[in-house]
């Protein structure tokens, strides 16, 4: 079977790497990309699921961090999102520990209501490690469980890294601009036709052509579901700068008048960007807001990017599957785009179509599962904009807009009694919803009644023991900067 991938950004090379790794020579994989068009080249922060992708490919962490200038990410610090002067941390991993009757946070809600002083973050290993700049095990310390973590990396170097992997596993790369696909009489894609006149025929086509969506939309008209009324940011400016001398193991997301700004520390530079809503500010104002708040000297001019939030109505249509920006776009507030590429690849592997066979049911299943992933991730992003006291037209719009029912229900459950319901298979788990809802200022009216059965002395002991667990997890950790220095210096694997 012949798979042709259009596009050599993060999405195209991730797909090429995975298909070549898992199918070997039972599949012929060709990737075509245009040096003249180039890639988006942003997309520097990830979530922990990427570790599974790397484990599956057999990628060595030191090799990866060295090649991409990568660092560790323990979560995101949200600055000024509830109102100016506030901050909270959304860390990966658990908050507190699991016990039988009610979730940890229900006990903490009672403890908090009764005047307990330890904040929610004191029960997150990730929040505490991030505050202290910790990651990795100190040399000489006993083996220890590391905090749940993801990576920051240089997106351009990551695509090059995966390209080396994919080519070593048999993927053939073609350079050139695709003019249009050639369709069969029934409307499937038969081949991609390059400007040079060359023709790349295949059985299955992956549209990884970025915002252009050359195959899934221009040729096959999959349709677009627009979500910009819920997530109105539609532009970004990205610029690299020198760092501030620290190598923080977390992303910073600072709220601004009509959007927000990211700061991502890499080994060799800091990635910065301002995401904003053009209906509520001007490009000049956004530019000034970004350039006056960089942690160090700018490296070059800022790069403008435009986008519309939403998704394709069909991710898989006929013999074409869209991945990455061609499949939809959710702004980078929780670093979910690369994850959505990964989940698309995982589903493609699980629902891989039979050569020449009928794929109607597989296609419908793929589309349903991807739509679910996009919608629930969308809800989590909207939450950050909606629960806020910030002044300004963008924030006012988001605070008062009608929400998707799925999100309104989640907020109501938390407001009434701190309940957090996770839909089966949903990406963000209870600790994520908890940290963001609490961090944005939502306070439940009461805690779960089961928690009242705990005697005060038992509750106090449980809270103290949990805080001690966090301290014990932190004790063997090294500084993140020292961890990265060791990893970057480690010899490449043979
Ligand atoms: P692209 O990088 O645009 O690649 C498209 C490819 O298609 C290129 O190789 C191009 O040459 C090729 N191509 C297009 N047309 C043709 C043609 N006619 N012929 C031949 N080749 C063609 N994601 C995260 O997970 N974390 C983040 O922190 C994050 N931050 C982001 C910030 C911003 C402002 C934006 C816009 C996105 C961000 N993303 C982030 C998303 C992330 O950048 C993308 O999901 C990821 O880079 C995948 O992009 P892509 O490969 O789909 O598209």
Cα angle 424, 427, 431; round to 5: 95
Find the 423 Cα to ligand 1 centroid distance in Å. 29
Rounded to the nearest 10 degrees, how much is the dihedral formed by the CA atoms of 368, 371, 372, 373? Answer: 130
Q: Tell me the CATH number for domain 2-71+152-225+309-376.
A: 3.50.50.60
Name the residue of 264, 325, 339, 342 to mutate for ligand 1: max ligand atoms within 8 A of Cβ.
Answer: 325
Which parts are annotated binding residues?
8-11, 73, 178, 325, 334, 338
- Ligand 1 atom closest to Cα of residue 177: 19
Ligand 1 lined by 210 (C-beta under 6 Å): yes
15 ligand 1 Cβ < 6 A:
no
Residue with tokens 């309104």: 408
Residues belonging to the binding site for FAD are: 8-11, 178, 325, 338
Q: Is 324 in the pocket of ligand 1 (CB under 6 A)?
A: yes
Is there an atom of ligand 1 within 6 Å of 209 CB? yes
User: What number is the average pLDDT over the span 128-150?
Assistant: 95
The ipTM estimated for the assembled molecules is: 0.99
Which of 305, 303, 307, 301 lies closest to 327, judged by CA?
Answer: 307
Strand partners, 29: 3
For position 244, what pLDDT does the model report?
A: 87
**Predicted pLDDT at 492:** 58
Tell how far the Cα of 26 is from the centroid of ligand 1, in angstroms: 28
User: Whose CA is closest to atom 3 on ligand 1?
Assistant: 210
Percentage of the chain exceeding pLDDT 70: 99
Which ligand 1 atom is the nearest neighbour of the CA of 10?
A: 51
In short, whether 302's Cβ falls inside 6 Å of ligand 1 is no
pLDDT of residue 254: 98
Q: pTM of this prediction? A: 0.97
Determine contact, residues 344/5, Cβ cutoff 8 Å: no
Alpha helices in 49-194 (DSSP H): 49-57, 61-68, 104-113, 125-132, 155-168
Asked if the model's pLDDT at residue 491 lies above 90, the reply is no
Write the pLDDT tens digit of every residue in 167-197.
999 999 999 999 999 999 999 999 999 999 9
pLDDT of 369: 97
* Res 490 pLDDT > 80: no
Q: Are 369 and 377 in contact (CB under 8 A)?
A: no
CA–centroid distance, residue 368 to ligand 1 (Å): 23
The finding on whether 37 has its CB within 6 A of some atom of ligand 1 is yes
pLDDT tens-digit map of 243-290? 888 899 999 999 999 999 999 999 999 999 999 999 999 999 999 999
Under 8 Å between Cβ of 228 and 27? no
Cβ neighbourhood burial of 117 (10 Å; 0-12, 13-18, 19+): exposed
- For residue 11, the ligand 1 atom closest to its alpha carbon is 51
Q: Which atom of ligand 1 is nearest to the CA of 307?
A: 36
pLDDT band for position 440 (cuts 50, 70, 90): very high
Q: What is the pLDDT of residue 470?
A: 97
The pLDDT tens digits of the residues spanning 451-479 come to 999 999 999 999 999 999 999 999 999 99
Ligand 1 atom nearest to 12, measured from its CA: 51
Q: Ligand 1 within 6 A of 133 CB?
A: no
Structure tokens at 68: 């991409």
Q: Is the CB of 259 under 6 A from ligand 1?
A: no
- Quick check: helix, strand or coil at residue 280? coil
Residue 84 to residues 233, 263, 390, 437: CA-CA distances in angstroms?
A: 20, 18, 7, 17
Q: What is the pLDDT of residue 100?
A: 67
Q: What is the CATH number of domain 235-306?
A: 3.30.70
pLDDT confidence bin for 356, thresholds 50/70/90: confident
Indicate the average pLDDT of the chain: 96
**In angstroms, what is the span from residue 12 Cα to ligand 1's centroid?**
9
Q: Assess whether the C-beta atom of 38 lies below 6 angstroms from ligand 1.
A: yes
Stretch(es) of the chain classified as CATH 3.30.70: 235-306
CA 191 to ligand 1 center in whole angstroms: 22
Residues of the chain with CATH 3.50.50.60: 2-71+152-225+309-376
Q: Alpha-carbon distance 378 to 389, whole Å?
A: 21
* Distance (Å) of CA 269 to CA 44, 46, 435: 12, 17, 29
Name the residue with the closest Cα to ligand 1, atom 40: 43
CB-hemisphere CA count at 13 Å for 305? 25
Q: What is the Å distance from ligand 1's center to 112 Cα? A: 44
> Residue 493 above 60 pLDDT?
no
Helix/strand number for the chain, H first, E second: 14, 23
Ligand 1, atom 30: nearest CA belongs to which residue?
A: 43
Q: Kindly give the interhelix angle for 125-132 and 456-474, rounded to the nearest 10 degrees.
A: 50
- Please name the residues in contact with 181: beta carbons below 8 A apart, sequence gap of 6 or more: 189, 190, 191, 192, 193, 205, 214, 215, 219
Residue 214: CB within 6 Å of ligand 1? yes
pLDDT tens track for 366-425: 999 999 999 999 999 999 999 999 999 999 999 999 999 999 999 999 999 999 998 888
Percent of the chain whose pLDDT exceeds 90: 93
CA nearest neighbour of 116 among 480, 466, 440:
466
162 and 64 in contact (C-beta within 8 Å)? no
If we measure between CA atoms, which residue out of 68, 92, 80 comes closest to residue 158? 68
CA 303 to ligand 1 centroid distance, Å: 14
* Tens digit of each residue's pLDDT (9 = 90 or more) over 74-109: 999 999 999 999 999 999 999 998 776 899 999 999
Number of the ligand 1 atom closest to the C-alpha atom of 42:
43
Place 488 in a pLDDT band, splitting at 50, 70 and 90.
confident
Catalytic residues: 73
Per DSSP, helices labelled H in 271-359 are 283-291, 337-350
Pocket test for ligand 1, best of 154, 337, 380 (most atoms within 8 A of CB): 337
């Amino acid at each position: 079977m012949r798979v042709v991938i259009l596009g050599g950004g993060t999405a195209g090379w991730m797909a090429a790497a995975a298909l070549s790794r898992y199918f070997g020579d039972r599949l012929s994989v060709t990737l075509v990309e245009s040096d003249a068009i180039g890639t988006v080249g942003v997309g520097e922060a990830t979530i922990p699921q990427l570790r599974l992708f790397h484990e599956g490919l057999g990628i060595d962490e030191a090799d990866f961090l060295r090649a991409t200038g990568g660092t560790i990410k323990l979560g995101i610090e949200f600055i000024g999102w509830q109102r100016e002067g506030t901050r909270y941390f959304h860390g990966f991993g658990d908050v507190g520990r699991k016990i039988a009757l009610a979730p940890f946070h229900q006990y903490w809600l009672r403890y908090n209501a009764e005047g307990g002083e330890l904040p929610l973050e004191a029960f997150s290993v990730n929040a505490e490690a991030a505050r202290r700049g910790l990651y990795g095990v100190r040399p000489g310390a006993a083996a220890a469980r590391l905090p749940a973590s993801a990576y920051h990396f240089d997106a351009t170097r990551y695509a090059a890294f995966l390209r080396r992997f994919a080519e070593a596993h048999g993927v053939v790369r073609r350079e050139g601009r695709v003019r249009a696909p050639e369709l069969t009489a029934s409307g499937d894609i038969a081949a991609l036709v390059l400007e040079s006149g060359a023709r790349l025929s295949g059985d299955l086509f992956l549209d990884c052509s970025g915002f252009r969506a050359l195959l899934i939309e221009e040729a096959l008209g999959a349709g677009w579901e627009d979500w910009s009324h819920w997530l109105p940011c539609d532009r970004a400016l990205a610029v690299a700068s020198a760092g501030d001398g620290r190598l923080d193991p977390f992303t910073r997301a600072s709220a601004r008048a009509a959007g927000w700004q990211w700061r991502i520390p890499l080994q060799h530079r800091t990635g910065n960007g301002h995401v904003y809503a053009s209906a509520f500010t001007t490009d000049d104002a956004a530019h000034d807001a970004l350039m006056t708040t960089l942690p160090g000297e700018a490296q070059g001019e800022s790069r403008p990017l435009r986008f519309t939030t939403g998704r394709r109505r069909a991710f898989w249509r006929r013999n074409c599957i869209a991945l990455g920006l061609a499949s939809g776009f959710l702004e980078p507030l929780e670093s979910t785009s690369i994850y959505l590429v990964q989940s698309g690849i995982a589903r493609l592997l699980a629902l891989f179509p039979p050569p020449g066979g009928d794929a109607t049911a597989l296609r419908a299943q793929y589309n349903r599962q991807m739509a679910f992933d996009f919608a629930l991730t969308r809800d989590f992003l909207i939450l950050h904009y909606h629960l806020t006291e910030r002044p300004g037209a963008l924030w006012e719009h988001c605070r008062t807009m009608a929400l998707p029912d799925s999100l309104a229900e989640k907020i109501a459950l938390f407001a009434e009694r701190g309940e957090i319901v996770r839909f089966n298979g949903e990406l963000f788990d209870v600790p994520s919803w908890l940290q963001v809802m609490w961090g944005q200022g939502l306070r439940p009216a009461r805690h779960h009644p089961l928690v009242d059965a705990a005697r005060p002395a038992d509750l106090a002991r449980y809270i103290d023991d949990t805080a001690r667990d966090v301290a014990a997890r932190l004790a063997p950790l090294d500084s993140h900067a020292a961890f990265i220095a060791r990893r970057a210096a480690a010899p490449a694997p043979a």
